[in-house]
Amino acid sequence: MKKNNLPLTQITIIIILLLVVANIYLFVRGMYLGDDISRFETKTQQLQQENIELEKKVLAAESLEHAASVAATLGFTSKSQPYSLESLKYAFNR
Amino acid sequence: MIKLRLLLVLFVVGYVLVYVKLFYLQTFNSLSSNANYVKTEKIQPSRGKISDRHLLPLAVNQIKYRLYVEPKHIGDKEQLVQRLAPSLSLSEASLEARIDMSKNWVSVAAGISPEMRRQIMKLKLNGVGFGEEPDRFYPEASLSAHLLGFVGKNAAGGAVGYFGVEGYYDKELTGLGGVVRSEQDLLGRPIFLGIQEKIDAENGRDLVLTIDNSVQAIIKGRLKNAMESYQAQQGCVIVVDPNNLEVLGLSCLPDFDPTTYYQFDEALYKNPAISNLYEPGSTFKPMVVAAALSDKAIKPNDTFEEAGPVTIGEYNIRTWDDKYEGKVSVTRILEKSSNVGMVAIGARLGNQKLYQALEKYGFGSPTGIDLQGEVGGYLKPKNQWYPIDFATATFGQGIAVTPIQMVKAFASIINGGNLFQPHVVKKLVSDHDEQTIPVKSLGRSVDAKTSEIIKRMLEATVNNGEVHWAKPAGYRIGGKTGTAQIAIKGHYDASKTIASFIGFVPVDQPKFLVLTILWEPKASQWGSETAAPLFFDIAKDLIVYYNISPDE
């Protein structure tokens, strides 16, 4: 009886030791993952903020209001009426 | 074997020590006894964006910051104030007054831009932090101010849309907030094996409008020039597709910049196109003629006697120029805008049917346009109408309508008789689906034959009117001028008018309908000399923009 119990006891102890090691390993990995998640969350938030800022700049530069303001600064003429509407005879060769 | 047992005992003892320490930390330690390991945070949804029909952005999100101070951590208050005040463009005295040292947290300034935040962070000040505050940015500034509205704050400090589509579709644009419950350690790091629950936020839906940014730019530019030329107090231009009442452009002046709405007078937030009542004057006449034709009360070739002023009770109704032509046709009544002729047509139609026609056109009720702030106008109950009221209603005086009601009714008489609900939003787009807003039909105002007849009459009105306008050659255009006196304290002030013109191009299959209104123009009180030229300027631009080929 005693001889049969010895290998069983040894196996149990070894399993417990392995589980303890695995527990410690997982716990420490979990801590590092938590660190990584925090870092990635902060980074993602930063990128989202940068993205919104850049989008705003692009849209402001693309807007008609900006184009009109730059055109006014550069002295673009507003007299660009297509005269063909008043002188259709030229288009129709009358 | 003994060694293994010894190792086991060592591990067990180690574990017991760890558990004892944990017990001590969680139960007796003052730091951890105050700690709340499960943090619950709300996830703010992004507000939906708004774009025009070609997906050009009209309203997007931007981030602003709220600067706060933790008085317990700032150290030297005077030094902080000295270093911070210049960056915030505040006096040191007013900044110092805001920082209450007895508090744990004090909000100092809001609306800080990202650039300013970066500058302040470079100062490396203790006890100073930033909270993110979502904000709205309108790339085209005031171009579509009344259409869009703006995003302000409610009593609780939350973001709320006011006026325009921001107000009308506030719920759809806001979305639904999410929640994250996360078990974190004392340093704020998530405990991976602890509670980690998340309900994602549902971002607000994006709106695609029926508005065309280019049309908006055209009409606003022309309206601005007209307001300056004719020295008008206020002006509005509405452009719609008469076949489905999609609003292609809507601009009223004076307006405001939605990004900095708080710098403008609150009176400017109201959209005159949907909230202002006015007496339409002669632009109303085609509606009455169409109702009479549709009811078969008159025929297109009928003639009426225009011998002189008409007396209704104690009132005399005259033509605008006090000139009378004797026998006049229905078309001629519209061409010369004869009030006397209109009274005769109204008499043939009958008071009962005239009133019914007004109700059928939708006057007295809101159109249902999807903009916040619409008023329905007022149609007196029929039993309160006097004979003079029925007479003056035939030429658009004595009744109050909104510009959008005029557009809705007028569109119906030139599109085959179909009444549609005007609308500004074409689609709602979310991450998962796209919902198109269907065109809403509200029945018929007149029959299709009447619509064709009235279009020809309105074309004749433009061609043979009292004033010859600079209309684009080769194009068939229909329309009607209006000059309504303004009622002040029960009397009409002859020096103050509302000048308007409503027209459409081309006559056969109208591509667009434009209403121009100028309140109290000083240069001339007549619609034919102010609102009409504005219409033709806009029409020329839109003909080019839409590439409409000439009819002749």
Q: What is the pTM of this model?
A: 0.86
Query: Of all residues in chain B, what percent carry a pLDDT higher than 90?
Result: 61
Question: In this complex, do A30 and B193 lie within 8 Å of one another by their Cβ atoms?
Answer: yes
Evaluate if residue A90 carries a pLDDT over 80. Answer: no
A17 contacts in chain B (CB < 8 Å) = 7-8, 11
C-beta of residue B425 within 8 angstroms of C-beta of residue B437: yes
Q: Which of B189, B192, B543 lies at the smallest CB-CB distance from A85?
A: B543
Q: Which of A17, A30, A64 lies at the smallest CB-CB distance from B143?
A: A64
Evaluate if residue B370 carries a pLDDT over 90. Answer: yes
Evaluate if residue B342 carries a pLDDT over 70. Answer: yes
Question: In this complex, do A56 and B137 lie within 8 Å of one another by their Cβ atoms?
Answer: yes
Rounded CA-CA distance B108/B233 in Å is 41
Q: Is position A81 within any domain? A: no
Evaluate if residue A94 carries a pLDDT over 50. Answer: no
Question: In this complex, do B8 and A16 lie within 8 Å of one another by their Cβ atoms?
Answer: yes
Q: Domain of B198?
A: 41-209
Q: Is position A8 within any domain? A: yes
pLDDT band at A1 (very low <50, low <70, confident <90, very high): very low
Residues whose CB falls within 8 Å of the CB of residue B449, separated by 6 or more in sequence, listed in order: none
Look at residue B463 in the predicted model and tell me its pLDDT.
92
The sign of the dihedral angle between the CA atoms of B460, B414, B374, B489 is positive
B283-334, pLDDT tens digit by residue?
Answer: 999 999 999 999 999 999 999 988 889 888 888 888 888 888 889 999 999 9
Rounded CA-CA distance B165/B247 in Å is 13
B144-192, pLDDT tens digit by residue?
Answer: 999 999 999 888 878 899 999 999 999 999 999 999 888 887 777 777 6
Q: Is position B137 within any domain? A: yes
- Residue B222 is encoded by which pair of tokens? 């022309």
Evaluate if residue B466 carries a pLDDT over 60. Answer: yes
Look at residue B85 in the predicted model and tell me its pLDDT.
87
- Residue B218 is encoded by which pair of tokens? 């055209």
Work out the average pLDDT over B425-434: 93
B221-253, pLDDT tens digit by residue?
Answer: 999 999 999 999 999 999 999 999 999 999 999
Looking at the fold, whether B283 and B151 belong to one and the same domain comes out as: no
Work out the average pLDDT over B489-511: 87
B249-274, pLDDT tens digit by residue?
Answer: 999 999 999 999 999 999 999 999 99
Q: Is position B29 within any domain? A: no
A26 contacts in chain B (CB < 8 Å) = 193
Tell me, what amino acid is at B271? N
Residues whose CB falls within 8 Å of the CB of residue B109, separated by 6 or more in sequence, listed in order: B66, B67, B88, B90
Question: In this complex, do A52 and B61 lie within 8 Å of one another by their Cβ atoms?
Answer: yes
Q: Where a domain ends, among B209, B225, B242?
A: B209
Burial tier of B314 (Cβ tally within 10 Å: 0-12, 13-18, 19+): exposed
**Number of compact structural domains in chain A:** 1
Backbone angles phi, psi at B240, to 5 degrees: -135, 160
B383-396, pLDDT tens digit by residue?
Answer: 899 999 999 999 99
B191 contacts in chain A (CB < 8 Å) = 30, 34
Q: Is B61 left (phi over 0), alpha (psi -120 to 50) or beta?
A: beta
Looking at the fold, whether B301 and B439 belong to one and the same domain comes out as: yes
Q: Which of A8-17, B333-342, B543-552 has the highest mean pLDDT?
A: B333-342
Work out the average pLDDT over B417-434: 95
Evaluate if residue B350 carries a pLDDT over 50. Answer: yes
Q: What is the ipTM of this complex?
A: 0.72
Look at residue B469 in the predicted model and tell me its pLDDT.
86
Question: In this complex, do A17 and B191 lie within 8 Å of one another by their Cβ atoms?
Answer: no
B29-76, pLDDT tens digit by residue?
Answer: 655 555 567 888 888 899 999 999 999 999 999 989 999 998 888 888
Measured in angstroms, the CA of A65 and the nearest CA of chain B are apart by: 6
Look at residue B367 in the predicted model and tell me its pLDDT.
96
- Residue B360 is encoded by which pair of tokens? 């059928």
C-beta of residue B217 within 8 angstroms of C-beta of residue B248: no
Rounded mean pLDDT of chain B? 90
Evaluate if residue B471 carries a pLDDT over 50. Answer: yes
Looking at the fold, whether B270 and B396 belong to one and the same domain comes out as: yes
Which positions 10-29 of B are in contact with A (Cβ < 8 Å)?
11, 15
Q: Domain of A61?
A: 2-73
Looking at the fold, whether B468 and B427 belong to one and the same domain comes out as: yes
Q: Is position A37 within any domain? A: yes
- Residue B223 is encoded by which pair of tokens? 């309206």
Looking at the fold, whether B303 and B165 belong to one and the same domain comes out as: no
B95-118, pLDDT tens digit by residue?
Answer: 888 888 888 888 888 889 888 999
Looking at the fold, whether B336 and B406 belong to one and the same domain comes out as: yes
**Number of compact structural domains in chain B:** 2
C-beta of residue B67 within 8 angstroms of C-beta of residue B128: yes
Looking at the fold, whether B356 and B446 belong to one and the same domain comes out as: yes
Residues whose CB falls within 8 Å of the CB of residue B21, separated by 6 or more in sequence, listed in order: none
| Alpha helices, H only, B311-447 | 330-335, 339-349, 351-361, 387-393, 403-414
Q: Which residues of A touch B (CB under 8 A)?
A: 6, 10, 13, 16-17, 20, 26-27, 30-31, 33-35, 37-38, 49, 52-53, 55-56, 59-60, 62-65, 68, 81-82, 85-88
Q: Is position B10 within any domain? A: no
CATH number at residue B313: 3.40.710.10
Looking at the fold, whether B204 and B231 belong to one and the same domain comes out as: no
Which positions 297-356 of B are in contact with A (Cβ < 8 Å)?
none
B132 contacts in chain A (CB < 8 Å) = 49
Rounded CA-CA distance B243/B210 in Å is 13
B193-217, pLDDT tens digit by residue?
Answer: 677 888 988 999 999 999 999 999 9
**DSSP sequence for B459-525:** HHHHHHSSS---PPTT---EEEEEEEEEEETTEEEEEEEEEEEEEEE-SSS--EEEEEEEES-SS-S
Residues whose CB falls within 8 Å of the CB of residue B531, separated by 6 or more in sequence, listed in order: B481, B482, B499, B500, B501, B516, B517, B518, B521
Evaluate if residue B407 carries a pLDDT over 50. Answer: yes
Count of CB contacts below 8 A, A vs B?
A: 83
Measured in angstroms, the CA of A30 and the nearest CA of chain B are apart by: 5
Whether the CB of B131 is below 8 Å from some CB of chain A: the reply is no
pLDDT band at B410 (very low <50, low <70, confident <90, very high): very high
A34 contacts in chain B (CB < 8 Å) = 185, 189-192
Select the more confidently predicted residue: B438 or A82: B438
Looking at the fold, whether B80 and B196 belong to one and the same domain comes out as: yes
Q: Is position B300 within any domain? A: yes
Question: In this complex, do A34 and B61 lie within 8 Å of one another by their Cβ atoms?
Answer: no
Q: Is position B148 within any domain? A: yes
Q: Is position B31 within any domain? A: no
Looking at the fold, whether B393 and B321 belong to one and the same domain comes out as: yes
CATH number at residue B113: 3.90.1310.10
Looking at the fold, whether B185 and B221 belong to one and the same domain comes out as: no
Q: Where a domain ends, among B164, B188, B209?
A: B209
Q: Which of A38, A59, A88 lies at the smallest CB-CB distance from B57?
A: A59
Nearest partner of B288 among B239, B327, B326, B344, judged by Cα: B344
Helix axes A64-74, A2-62, angle to 10 degrees: 40
Looking at the fold, whether B128 and B260 belong to one and the same domain comes out as: no
The sign of the dihedral angle between the CA atoms of B417, B422, B426, B428 is negative
Look at residue A87 in the predicted model and tell me its pLDDT.
52
Look at residue B204 in the predicted model and tell me its pLDDT.
94
A21-76, pLDDT tens digit by residue?
Answer: 999 998 888 888 888 888 898 899 889 888 988 999 999 898 888 888 888 888 77
Q: Where a domain ends, among B179, B209, B239?
A: B209
Question: In this complex, do B139 and A60 lie within 8 Å of one another by their Cβ atoms?
Answer: yes
CA distances from B486 to B246, B284, B395 (A): 30, 15, 14
Residue recorded with tokens 């930033």? B130
Q: What is the DSSP letter of B413?
A: H
Whether the CB of B2 is below 8 Å from some CB of chain A: the reply is no
Rounded CA-CA distance B252/B519 in Å is 11
Look at residue B34 in the predicted model and tell me its pLDDT.
52
Which positions 486-545 of B are in contact with A (Cβ < 8 Å)?
540, 543-544
